[in-house]
Structure formats: structure tokens, C-alpha cells
Structure 1
Amino acid sequence: MERYLALELVSTVRHDGDGGVADDLGDPSALTAWVREHVPEHGGFTADDAALTDVLALRRAVRALFARAVAPAPPSSADARRLMPAEEALAHLNAAAARVPVVPRLVWEAQEAPAARLEPAVEPAGRAGAAARIVAELARAAVDFLAGPERERLRACTAPRCVRYFVKSHGRQEWCKPSCGNRARVARHYRRHRPQGAPS
């Protein structure tokens, strides 16, 4: 299955297994581990409170734009009642993407086809610069995703208690993963066979 960095970011909000919502980016050390796993070129990055605040604000904006992308279907239940307004989310995303200016560079290794790569126009300095670069990279990944063909296949999982978004990979896919499909089928069966007047 193809991986999308923007989708990985919004998926750090997930069902906790007990009917609530868990946050995989609950503190700077969790963000450090997530960046090292999902953005390995920043393997030396260590998050602080400011970096965490910036990434969480970006995630909130991207989740609001994902909700807009799946409309008129309902958004994820994790934040359906407290979504950032779409215009505010757009402005936040674009500002984050512009934190570190980039330029295209042609890379042409021996025996390889030439390829274009975006690289920072000016390398940001120090810890704050590393955080800005990561936030900008995550924001640009969201811009690419939302401006690309994958947006048309984006869905909010409708399984009970699931709060994830996913990219639909085939025509009949309704849920983000098989376990969500199983949970949805069990819930549907229970609703159909519940005794009359029993509490739901």
C-alpha cells in the first residue's frame, strides 16, 4: 500500500481501543520518535515543546482540510464538532509550507535518469530551523496530497469508534482496514438482531 506523509500525520489521532481518542504525538519525545520513523532524512531531529505545538497546529489544519475534501460525507468523528474553519486551515497550511523556501535541483547520478528534487534555498540554522524545516515539509506533503488525484479517493472511516482517514484503494472499500470492517459488520448484525426495546 502506498504511504502518504500527510495521511500518516493525520493518523496520529486514532481510536484508543476503549471508546476514546488517542494522540500519538502526546509529548515532544513522541514527536521525535514519529519524525525519525516517518521522515527518516531528519533522523537527528529532537523535538521540543515549540516544535510539538507547531506540528499539532498543522495537523489540526490538515484534518480540517481532509474533512472538507470528503464532504458531503461526514468527517472523522474525532474532530467533527471542533474543526478549524476551512479558510483559516488553508491560510495556516500555506504559511507553514512557506516557512522554508525551496528551489528545484536537478540530480543526475551516473547510470541513473535525471530527477528533480526540492531542496531548501537556505539551510535553516539550529534547533528552531530544523523544526521549521520539518513543519514546512509536512505542510508541503499535505499540499501535494490535497492538490493531487488521491484527494478524490480520500474517505473518513465509518466503522464504529474509528477516527481515521484513508485513501480508497478499490471500488467497494468502505473502511480503513479489515478490523474496522469486522467491527462495522458486528455492529450492523447487533442492530438487526437486538431485542425490541433493548437499550442501544
Structure 2
Amino acid sequence: MEYSISADARLALDLALTVRHDGNGAGADDLTEPMGLATWVRAHADVLPVAVGFTADETALTAVRDLRGAVRALFARAVSPGEPSPADAARLLPVPEALARLNEAAALTPTVPVLSWGPGAEPVVRHEPATGEDPLTAALARAALAFFASPERQRLRACHAPRCVRYFLKEHPRQEWCKPSCGNRARVARHHRRHKEMAS
């Protein structure tokens, strides 16, 4: 049985995954400068309407990084009693602070209902930002809120393969790792550990 992933869950997860393993034994952060944020936002234009015409600056970068810290802290809470991602274990925000940060970010941009009714289509109401306060951070926060309140949250796991710092949503019941290469690394590490124990 394969599970599907909602747009809100994918967006929250992708935000958390801007912190990752770089393949060389160290962590990497895709959001270290405004250009990295702009690139990430453009890559998510299909689910972030604010991506059109978005320009990143230090203020936007700080807001999104602060929100990411809250999301990763709440991811750690969601996977407990399992261990959080190794990238977070020593620097998690306290849960009340993470919740406050997420809720404050979600409130940054009020929305108004907008009706669209194209030729030959049914009328659709969508919500769009009413002001230009900080629509990007608000959109990301609202996606995270929707994810945490959904049943999908129960499928969230931290990958514990050697050197991996990612979170993932289980896409099938037997999935243990975020991707096959992590499963291979974990099996190799287990194999080496067994041989080392047998040799001692």
C-alpha cells in the first residue's frame, strides 16, 4: 500500500529538508544566503503562489530560517518517542517557543477570499494575501500548521542512517529510511559492526 503526500505536507517537509547531509560527512544548509532562499522558493512555485515576483533579502531569509527552526523542533516532537534528526538533537527550540513562532508566522499575512470562475469551469474560491506583510513566511507556516494537524503527521520519521539528518514521510508501511541509499548505508554499517563484534 502506497501513501500519498499532500501539498502542505510536502511543503513543510521540503522546508525542513533544506538542512541536509552534504555527502562529505558534514551538514549542509540550502538557506545560508538570500539567493539560496530565492532558488528554493522558485523551485516550489507550483505550491507557493507568492513565488511569482519574489525577491529574497536578509529579512526574508531570517524569517524563513526562524520558521524552519520551529518546524524542525515540532518534527522532533512528532517523531517522539523516537529520536529526532541528528542535526537537531543538540539545538531544538523548546516546544512552546516553536509553537509560538509557528503561530506568529502564520498570522503575518491576513487573507481574503477571492472568487475565480473561468470559462467552462466551476467557480473556485481561494485565499490570497490581503497585504504585503510577509506572504512567504505566512504561506510556509500555514502549510506546516495544516500538516501538523493532519493524520499525515503520524507518518513522519527521522532517518537514522549513518550521516543522514533528514525527516521523511513513510510512503509504504515497511519503509525505514528516507531513500534507498540511506538503507544501503545502514545495512553496510550494521554488517561492519557485526564483523567487528565477532572479531573481538
Give the superposed CA RMSD. 1.6
The separation in 2 between residues aligned to 1:53 and 1:91, in whole angstroms, is 16
Counterpart residue type for residue 45 of structure 1:
F
Q: Taking structure 1 as the reference length, what is the TM-score of the superposition?
A: 0.89
The separation in 1 between residues aligned to 2:78 and 2:112, in whole angstroms, is 28
Identity between Structure 1 and Structure 2 (%): 61
State the shift of 1:140 in Å. Answer: 0.4
The separation in 2 between residues aligned to 1:67 and 1:149, in whole angstroms, is 16
The separation in 2 between residues aligned to 1:149 and 1:115, in whole angstroms, is 26
The separation in 2 between residues aligned to 1:178 and 1:81, in whole angstroms, is 27
Q: Taking structure 2 as the reference length, what is the TM-score of the superposition?
A: 0.89
Cα pair 1:35 1:43 within 8 Å, conserved: no
Cα pair 2:110 2:131 within 8 Å, conserved: no
* Uncovered stretches (5+) of structure 1, i.e. residues with no partner: none
Cα pair 2:73 2:98 within 8 Å, conserved: yes
- Quick one: higher RCO (CA 8 Å, sep 6+), 1 or 2? 2
Aligned to 2:85: 76
Counterpart residue type for residue 73 of structure 2:
A
Cα pair 2:109 2:138 within 8 Å, conserved: yes
The separation in 2 between residues aligned to 1:73 and 1:113, in whole angstroms, is 45
- Say yes or no: does 1:38 pair with 2:79: no
The separation in 2 between residues aligned to 1:174 and 1:117, in whole angstroms, is 37
Q: Could you tell me which of 117, 124, 131 is aligned with 1:123? A: 131
Matches within 5 A, 1:9-158: 9-39=15-45, 41=49, 42-120=51-129, 122-124=130-132, 129=133, 132-158=134-160
Cα pair 1:157 1:176 within 8 Å, conserved: yes
The separation in 1 between residues aligned to 2:126 and 2:85, in whole angstroms, is 33
The separation in 1 between residues aligned to 2:106 and 2:45, in whole angstroms, is 16
- Matched residue count: 190
State the shift of 1:154 in Å. Answer: 0.5
The separation in 2 between residues aligned to 1:174 and 1:115, in whole angstroms, is 39
The separation in 1 between residues aligned to 2:14 and 2:93, in whole angstroms, is 19
Per the alignment, do residues 116 and 150 of structure 1 end up closer, same or farther by CA in structure 2, a change over 3 Å counting? farther
Aligned to 1:167: 169
SS at match of 2:199: coil
Counterpart residue type for residue 196 of structure 1:
A
Counterpart residue type for residue 79 of structure 2:
V
SS at match of 1:87: helix
The separation in 2 between residues aligned to 1:148 and 1:77, in whole angstroms, is 25
- Say yes or no: does 1:8 pair with 2:10: no
Aligned to 1:181: 183
The separation in 2 between residues aligned to 1:184 and 1:112, in whole angstroms, is 50
State the shift of 1:116 in Å. Answer: 3.4
User: Could you list the per-position Cα deviations for residues 128-177 of structure 1 after superposition, in whole angstroms to 9, with x for gaps in the alignment?
Assistant: x4xx1100000001001111121010111111111111110111000011
The separation in 2 between residues aligned to 1:115 and 1:150, in whole angstroms, is 26
